[in-house]
Amino acid sequence: MKRKMRVPRCILLLAVSVLLLPTLFAQNSGEELPSAPSATLQQNKPKVPPPAAPAQNPAPQQQEPQTPEPAPADTTKPQPATPAQQPAPEPAAMESRKADAPTPTGKPPAPADEAATTIRAFVNEVNVVFTVTDKHGHYVRNLKKSDFAVLDDSRPAAEIRSFHSESDLPLQVGLLVDASNSVRDRFKFEQEAAIEFLNQTVRPKYDQAFVVGFDVTPEVTQDFTDNTEALSRGVRELRPGGGTAMYDAIYFACRDKLMKHTQSGPVRRAIILLSDGDDNQSHVSREEAIEMAQRAEVIIYTISTNISGTRGRADKVLERIADATGGRSFFPFQLNDVADAFSEIQDELRSQYALSYKPADFRADGRFHTIEILAQNKKGLKVRARHGYYAPAQ
């Protein structure tokens, strides 16, 4: 009878063990499913082996899955930020990065209040570059601040604040060369004339120039530099072909090059435009290109590549662009005349004056305001300058 009673006891113990195994498995499996960052860190720790006896302190075993849950509230530990934690500070961080970005002068921007003060003090001054000739068309170079008066919207300016002669101001000049099929006939000669102009005009460590060739799109073959050899290579890289988007090229050179180029003080900005004036591909209009030049305070000199011997509609376009920006237009019908035109532009750039004045009633209205500079006390003098400026808008 004793032998018969041993079998049921073994079966009973086996049944109890089978019933307890799922409980042990469930307790241990909680360690394999991390639900928080701190639980993830626990996976790197050595795992504690399961207890030998299931009856020993089951309460702590059941509390183990609950220990990771308070971890997200622990701010003393550096945790990876989740997307839900980011939106509020992110825009501020982006603005901070924008504010720390270098300005065109290479210096960090001033605080917001200081920047606003600087802008208000600056925009009520108008800068004008101009030339003066006598009744024979010869440049007059020995005039002083007291020899001039300024009319802003036909009203006398409140004050002429600064006055410079050409030798005081560095030059930023863009050479825009029409590389369309319409100028192919004498393209090589015009390239050499342009190279000679740059060699004679750009002063190392003082002036800077860039080269843009354009057909349907503008292409910068040499960016701003005072290295005349690099500028010469940029001119020689130009190849004729395609349509003509002249207005787009002017707009691009004024807005994206001259207006954005760094400067530490007053400068003279000029564009030498070599083209036949026959635009057939631009996205902007002639007047929009002129407006951008006026906003950028750029004087445009135009040299026509028309070799027909007669002036047509396109030549009038070149005249309009030059006149509105205070420049001159040239129509060289002979090859040698191209070099002469560049020489005359070079002479004018060395004969300019520049002044800044305060309008009597300045308004930040975004409108176009006319400028007229008068030569006082001397008869027969002619002043050539841009026709006006666009006031900033509030």
| Residue 182 pLDDT | 67
Tokens in use for 176? 């825009």
**pLDDT of residue 225 exceeding 80:** yes
Share of the chain above pLDDT 70, in %: 67
**pLDDT of residue 30 exceeding 80:** no
How large is the angle between the packed helices 313-325 and 286-295, nearest 10 degrees? 20
pLDDT confidence tier of residue 18, bands split at 50, 70 and 90: low
| Residue 9 pLDDT | 63
Distance, CA of 358 to CA of 124 (rounded, Å): 6
Tens of pLDDT, residues 359-386: 998 888 989 999 999 998 778 899 999 9
Q: What does the pLDDT average to over 386-394?
A: 89
**pLDDT of residue 159 exceeding 90:** yes
| Residue 106 pLDDT | 42
**pLDDT of residue 310 exceeding 60:** yes
| Residue 267 pLDDT | 87
Buried b (16+ CB within 10 A) or exposed e, 75-94: eeeeeeeeeeeeeeeeeeee
Buried b (16+ CB within 10 A) or exposed e, 330-339: bbbeeeeebb
Which residue is associated with the tokens 């007291």?
Answer: 146
Which residue is associated with the tokens 């004056």?
Answer: 353
pLDDT confidence tier of residue 37, bands split at 50, 70 and 90: very low
Using DSSP's 3-state secondary structure scheme, residue 121 falls into: helix
Comparing 134-138, 307-311, 330-334, the range with the smallest average pLDDT is 307-311
CA distances to 33, 46, 66, 75, 391 from 70, rounded to whole Å, are 16, 22, 8, 11, 61
**pLDDT of residue 54 exceeding 60:** no
CATH number of this structure's domain 169-351, picked from the four choices 3.40.50.410, 3.40.50.1000, 3.20.20.140, 3.40.50.300: 3.40.50.410
Share of the chain above pLDDT 90, in %: 52
